[in-house]
Structures are given as C-alpha cells and as structure tokens.
Chains A and B, each alone.
Chain A
C-alpha cells in the first residue's frame, strides 16, 4: 500500500443512488478523495472540472452505458478505469470490457475486494509498461492490455493473474522482481496467498510462453531472489549487441 499516493482522486459513476452513497462513504473512509456522478453525461462534466486518478463506473446505466463512457474517456486520456458489472468473466461483454477497462468487479462485490482492486490498479499506473505490444524476442510479444501473448505467431490467452504478474515483470524488464512483490501483485485480494502460487504460476507461464519450458530464455528464475523478464539480445530498441540469452540485458531507462 506504500505506493498508493495519498488522497488518490476517484470519480465514481453509478445510477443507483444508494450504492453511490455507501460506496463513496466507504472509499472516503479509506482515504480516497471521491467525486460521484449519476450518469455518463454528468461524469463527463465532472471530468471537465478536473481529472481524477481513477474512474469507477457502472456498466449498465441509462443513456450512456459504462462501456461507452469508458471509451469516450480513453479517447481523451489514459485514465485507469474499473468497471462495476453484474456480469462475470464468462460473458462475451467481459472480453470487450477487458480491452477498455483496467479491471472489472462483479456485483455484488465485497467491499474489501473492491478496495484491493482499486489499490492494485492505482499501483499499476505507476508501472512503466508500454500500452501497446511489448516485443521481447523473436518468439514472444506481450500484449498485456488485451491479456494475451504472441508465442511464435500464435495468440495465447493469459489469465488475469498471469497478466498481472507479467505487468509487474514487464515494468522492470531485465531486473529481478521479488517473489513477494509478485505474490502481492497477483493475489492481493486472495485469502492466504502463498509463495507456491508464484512458483507454480511461473512454471505454467513458461509452458505457455517459452519455446522450451525446461530451458527458459524470457522468464528467468533468480535463485533466492525472484524472477526476471528478459528482452532477448539483438531484439528491440534497447539492445546494443549480441548478448547470449540469459545474460544481463542492456539496462532500460528506469524512468
């Protein structure tokens, strides 16, 4: 939670006044600066007055629905968005949502879960991850916003947890990310998270992303520390020579 800036501003948009009131209350109690809007039009007017750090929007609203609002907002700025919806991940609309919003929460939600997701999204905003595709080598390109990877030209779907881990790793390509950090990123709202989740998920990710899972070149284990995502030598703009896979890649700018 240390990375959450004090008094992060949140614009909360929902057509249910009851939910609006209680949610605003709860978020306010947890130290967020909350503004509310009853529909899309009002939300856009609020945005004119000042940009928040995060937008929480209900999917189903009269006149302009949450998806349309999210699209309008994204056209103007890369403002992180969490969508509240009564649909779950199996729904076709959820797939569309994922390409526009940073995250979504199914109604009815448990407030602590919402808070965990808000914190996670706000933290991710600080990450230095390109919005588009991230090419790591001839056989691997990550497209995290669409929760997928291109492995040898084949699209591979990533689960939410996998893409969260890759987000954290991609934010510091070439540097070690500790297992604890990864655990906090991937399983923030999970009961009793255990480092074994990270280990096994990394093994599964290698099977998905590496050409040879037994000899990984992209997802490298750093014994006793954590994991490192490598950009292969001779690939990508940050490279300056033919380094063997697995050696320290050229240091990217740490802005």
Chain B
C-alpha cells in the first residue's frame, strides 16, 4: 500500500511522524506545567477564602451550620467549622464535611490538603485574645487539570509507537527498492544482462528503474551486436574472395547493428569520403573508415532509421568491426593474389609438362610401333629412355606439387608384388638378377597406384644404378609394430636391397635431400650421371603423402631402402 505512494509523499510522511514525537513531548510537558500552576492558584485562593472566613467568624459569628452555610453561599465553596479537636460544629454541606487532617496544629501555618477529589484549606478561627478557638475548613473540588496528564502521556506513547512503526515501514519501503537496485546492478555487473528492475508508480525510483532497464537493454543490444559482429568476423574466410567477404560483412553489419542497409566501398579514396549531414526526421548515415593502421582499405557506410539513437559506444563497436573487416578484406586480396600466382605457376608447369611430354609421347609411340615391326634393340632403348625422360619430367612436377601441398592421393587397394614385377620389367634390366619375396600374400596395400609406381621406380632405379650389377632383392612383409617407421594400424613394409657399396654413415640422411647425388660406386657405368637427385626425395614425399614412411633400413652389405604403407587384410566381404 505504501509502495503505491509516491516517494516524495513517503519521505514526507516519515519526516512528519518523526517530527510529531518532539511536538507531543513538548505539549505534554507544557500541559503538566500548566496543570501544576492551576493547582497552586486554586490552593492559594481556597486558603485566602479560609483565612478571610476565619477572621469574619472570629469577629462575631456563630460556630454553627448557618454561619457555615452563609459563608458557603458567599464563597460558593463547601465550608465546615470544627473545634480544634476536630469535632464538627457546623457544615454547609454535611455530606461533604471536611475532617481535620491528622496531626493538625492550630498554631502552625494553616495547611492545604488535597484529598477525596477536593482541595481543603484549614484556617484557625482566633478568639478575642488571639488564641485559636476553632478551625474553619474551606473545600473546593479539584480542577479538571490534573486529569489531562495521563491522557497526554497515553497520547505521547501512542504517537511515539506510531512514529516508530511508521518510520520503520517507510524506511523499509524506501530501502527495499534501493536494495533491489543494488542487487540488480550487481547481477548486471556479473554479466546477467537480463536483470531488470520492476517499474512501479511514477516516482523518482520508478524513473531510476526505468532508466536502469533502458541501460541494461542497451547493453544487451550492444552485447548481441558484438556477438553477431564476432560471429560474422569468424565467418569471413580469405578463401571466399573479396566480393564474398564484402557482401557477407554488409549483411552481417546490417543484422548486427540493425541498419537499414550497409555498403562497403573499397579503395583508399573511399576512406576519406565526407559524410552527409543528418537531416532530422530522415534516415541518416553513419560510417567508419576501414583501415589497418595507416593502410586505408575502404569505408563502411550504413543507413539508420530516423528514430534510431547512435551513441559513441555504437561508433566504437562499428569501428572494431571496421578494423576487423579491413583485415579480412586485405587477407582476401592477398589470398587472391597468392591464388592467381599459384595458378600462374600451375599453368606454367602444365605448359612445360605438355611441351615436353607431347613429343615424348610421339617418340615413344613410334619407337614402340617400329620395335614391334623390326625388333631392333636400339628401338627398345629409345622407348626405355623416352620413358625415363618423361618420368624425370614427372618427378620435377611432383616436387613442385609436393611443395605446394596440392597433391592428393587416390587411395585404392592393390597387391604390391605384381606392381613391383612390372616396374622392374619397365627398367629393362633383363640380365640383372632380381629376387622378389612376397611374405604377406594375405594383404593388400591401400595406396595410390601411380604414386607407388613412381616410388618403386625410384627405388629400383636407384638399386640398379648403385648396386654394382649385383642382384636386386625386394621383400614384401608385414610391418613390425616396434619399428619406429611403421605407422599406426597394420602396414606392409617393402624393402629394396642392392649389393653395392652401401651408403657412408655421414650421408644417411642426405640421400633424401633434394638434388643430392652421392659419390657412390655404380656398377657398369650404364646409369652414370643419369640421376636427377630427385628420386628418393620425391619417393619419400609421396610415401608420406599416403600415410607411410620411407627410410634407409640397412647399409651393409649394400643399401636397403624400405617403405611402409597402410595395409588391408584380404577377406571376402
């Protein structure tokens, strides 16, 4: 009930009740004071009458009731005449005749006694010789004065109680909303932006609550804007290109800030464009430059509804978005540059490859055809060497693609044994001893056939070149789990061993470096100087690209290279 009163009224009431307490107190004291005065006055007047009456009677009056009645009539008081001993001689009203107070002494100054609701003054009646012969008692009912005091006291107590109670209630009604405000602000500070104050009535507290709620709502709205802005920024990917980045950012800004529309203009000149003046009642524009440090990328301009407020905090938020957007746009531009350069490089390599491989294809096709007709060993050499040359071109391209990380294997299953045999045949070393042991016949490897072929060709070619004409041994077996080169899961390890001089200890890692050609003794001089120094490096890159590894396994006697590839068990499924 009190809460519905305006704050002003409540404060006024509280103060008023507190003020009532001293007022009532003063009133009580004043009344008490006045009451005492009245009594003294009454006592004096009764005493004076008693003295006067005693003189009158002493100077010639009868000590009987008629005298008393006469005197009572003249003074309108109750008059009683008593002997010094207290014996009643006459009374104006026998029903209310006064008695002598205990221990009455006629020679002492006449006393005034309050008793039985009356004030009675006693005066000695003096005889002719001046000796007291009788006593005159004059009585008057006590004035109403003294009865006011308890009433006042009650009023005082009640007022104090009421004042305390009211003050308490009012204080509570004043403090409670303040406590609520404090609690809500604390929740707000703790990050609960949904905390709102109840708005009751139309007083200052209600205004405070309403403006707090507006503040919280604005904070929540900005928070949401910020969240949307961050989400939008997170969505921006340089791979999408500048145009997509810009259009994503425009719609994101429109959503996040509640714009009518957003436009991003690119270019350093756009960053300096002045803004149109705001015309009241019309949609107006806000804008931030998009820049990274001093590097101007462009400008973001947005339209707002005429009624929309745009504060410094909004400007700051938009500026943050602007700077992030600038970075995203610049990244997209750089990415596009890199992409076009990379595409240029790919085009160049495609051109080189095409221009080398096309004539090789012709050479090979004609030589194969002639060889089929005439069976001239020289033609076989042309075929073999044209194949070798095109493999080297492939290797060069593979190196560049491995560097760019654009190679993706087409992983299918295949049996290694037949492939090893075919690659060995393609090397055209019919006279050289070759031994292939497949100790994992129940398994297939999961790998890219073309890649494996390249790897095998590089390893076998290497074994031929540096094997001193000795036997080349290829072993296919299941990988041992304790081998550090073996990848997780089942895998097949293929070893290629030659019987050459092996690899010197200091060169064991160098053999995999690009363009490395070691001073290793080679067999019959046939392949001398024919290597590119790329074979092992490319082979290792390809094997690793398929989830395996390639390493130098043993160097005595001869060199043994090994590579692992993920394996699949043969089961009819």
Known contacts A159-B410, A191-B418, A204-B413; is A199 also within 8 Å of B366 by CB?
no
Known contacts A92-B346, A221-B573; is A22 also within 8 Å of B365 by CB?
yes
Closest to B573 in A: A203
Partner among B360, B422, B569 whose Cβ is within 8 Å of the Cβ of A191: B422
Known contacts A191-B419, A199-B573, A200-B413; is A86 also within 8 Å of B568 by CB?
no
Partner among B368, B408, B450, B571 whose Cβ is within 8 Å of the Cβ of A111: B368
Most chain B CB neighbours (cut-off 10 Å) among A108, A192, A206, A221: A108
Chain B contacts of A160 at CB under 8 A?
410, 412
Known contacts A59-B354, A108-B357; is A18 also within 8 Å of B362 by CB?
yes
Chain B contacts of A19 at CB under 8 A?
358, 361-362, 365
Let me know if B364 is at the binding interface, CB within 8 A: yes
Chain B contacts of A196 at CB under 8 A?
415, 444, 570
Let me know if B328 is at the binding interface, CB within 8 A: no
State in angstroms the CA–CA spacing of A194 and B418 once bound together. Answer: 10
Whether A87 and B444, one on each chain, are in contact in the complex, defined by CB atoms closer than 8 angstroms, is no
How many residues on A have C-beta within 8 angstroms of the other chain's C-beta atoms? Answer: 41
State in angstroms the CA–CA spacing of A197 and B416 once bound together. Answer: 12
Let me know if B65 is at the binding interface, CB within 8 A: no
Partner among A91, A190, A192, A200 whose Cβ is within 8 Å of the Cβ of B401: A91
User: What are 5 A-B interface contacts by the 8 Å CB criterion?
Assistant: A60-B358, A88-B450, A107-B354, A108-B386, A160-B410
Let me know if A127 is at the binding interface, CB within 8 A: no
Task: Beyond the given A22-B362, A23-B365, please list 19 additional residue pairs across the A-B interface where CB-CB is below 8 A.
Answer: A60-B350, A60-B351, A86-B353, A90-B401, A91-B350, A92-B346, A92-B406, A107-B358, A108-B387, A159-B411, A161-B412, A191-B419, A191-B422, A192-B415, A192-B417, A194-B415, A197-B415, A200-B413, A221-B573
Let me know if B407 is at the binding interface, CB within 8 A: yes
Partner among B361, B386, B394, B572 whose Cβ is within 8 Å of the Cβ of A199: B572
State in angstroms the CA–CA spacing of A87 and B356 once bound together. Answer: 12
Whether A108 and B361, one on each chain, are in contact in the complex, defined by CB atoms closer than 8 angstroms, is yes
> Which B residues fall within an 8 A CB radius of A?
343, 346, 350-351, 353-354, 356-362, 364-366, 368-369, 386-387, 390, 394, 397-398, 401, 406-415, 417-419, 421-422, 444, 446, 448-450, 568-573
Chain A contacts of B417 at CB under 8 A?
192
Q: Interface majority SS on B: helix, strand, loop or mixed? A: helix
Partner among B346, B360, B572 whose Cβ is within 8 Å of the Cβ of A93: B346
Question: A122-154: which have CB < 8 Å to B?
Answer: none
State in angstroms the CA–CA spacing of A109 and B450 once bound together. Answer: 12
Whether A162 and B358, one on each chain, are in contact in the complex, defined by CB atoms closer than 8 angstroms, is no
Let me know if A26 is at the binding interface, CB within 8 A: yes
Chain B contacts of A107 at CB under 8 A?
354, 357-358, 360-361, 390
A30 to chain B, nearest CB (A): 13
State in angstroms the CA–CA spacing of A199 and B358 once bound together. Answer: 38
State in angstroms the CA–CA spacing of A88 and B357 once bound together. Answer: 12
Chain A contacts of B446 at CB under 8 A?
204
Whether B411 and A192, one on each chain, are in contact in the complex, defined by CB atoms closer than 8 angstroms, is no
Whether B353 and A87, one on each chain, are in contact in the complex, defined by CB atoms closer than 8 angstroms, is yes
B344 to chain A, nearest CB (A): 12
Known contacts A107-B361, A191-B419; is A86 also within 8 Å of B350 by CB?
yes
Nearest 5 CB-CB pairings of A with B:
A192-B418, A108-B361, A90-B407, A18-B362, A86-B357
**What sequence of 0s and 1s flags, for each residue 186-213 of chain A, a beta carbon within 8 Å of any chain B beta carbon?**
0000111010110111111010000000
Let me know if A248 is at the binding interface, CB within 8 A: no
State in angstroms the CA–CA spacing of A203 and B446 once bound together. Answer: 12
B79 to chain A, nearest CB (A): 124
A46 to chain B, nearest CB (A): 21
Closest to A22 in B: B365
Closest to B569 in A: A200
Chain B contacts of A111 at CB under 8 A?
365, 368
Closest to B366 in A: A22
Chain B contacts of A86 at CB under 8 A?
350, 353-354, 356-358
Let me know if A89 is at the binding interface, CB within 8 A: yes
Whether A203 and B346, one on each chain, are in contact in the complex, defined by CB atoms closer than 8 angstroms, is no
A114 to chain B, nearest CB (A): 10
A61 to chain B, nearest CB (A): 10
State in angstroms the CA–CA spacing of A183 and B568 once bound together. Answer: 17
B88 to chain A, nearest CB (A): 127
A101 to chain B, nearest CB (A): 16
Whether B365 and A60, one on each chain, are in contact in the complex, defined by CB atoms closer than 8 angstroms, is no
State in angstroms the CA–CA spacing of A23 and B362 once bound together. Answer: 9
Whether A22 and B369, one on each chain, are in contact in the complex, defined by CB atoms closer than 8 angstroms, is yes
Chain B contacts of A92 at CB under 8 A?
343, 346, 406
Chain A contacts of B360 at CB under 8 A?
107-108
Let me know if A16 is at the binding interface, CB within 8 A: yes
State in angstroms the CA–CA spacing of A204 and B446 once bound together. Answer: 10
Partner among A26, A93, A202, A204 whose Cβ is within 8 Å of the Cβ of B350: A93
State in angstroms the CA–CA spacing of A26 and B366 once bound together. Answer: 10
Chain A contacts of B450 at CB under 8 A?
88-89
Whether A108 and B390, one on each chain, are in contact in the complex, defined by CB atoms closer than 8 angstroms, is yes
Closest to A161 in B: B412
B174 to chain A, nearest CB (A): 61
**What sequence of 0s and 1s flags, for each residue 48-78 of chain A, a beta carbon within 8 Å of any chain B beta carbon?**
0000000000111000000000000000000
Chain B contacts of A23 at CB under 8 A?
365
B339 to chain A, nearest CB (A): 10
Known contacts A19-B362, A89-B450, A108-B357; is A197 also within 8 Å of B414 by CB?
yes
Chain A contacts of B419 at CB under 8 A?
191
State in angstroms the CA–CA spacing of A203 and B353 once bound together. Answer: 37
B37 to chain A, nearest CB (A): 105
Closest to B418 in A: A192
Closest to B423 in A: A191
Closest to A202 in B: B573
State in angstroms the CA–CA spacing of A68 and B410 once bound together. Answer: 26
A113 to chain B, nearest CB (A): 11
Whether A199 and B368, one on each chain, are in contact in the complex, defined by CB atoms closer than 8 angstroms, is no
Most chain A CB neighbours (cut-off 10 Å) among B406, B408, B421: B408
Closest to A162 in B: B412
**What sequence of 0s and 1s flags, for each residue 147-183 of chain A, a beta carbon within 8 Å of any chain B beta carbon?**
0000000000001111000000000000000000000
Closest to B411 in A: A159
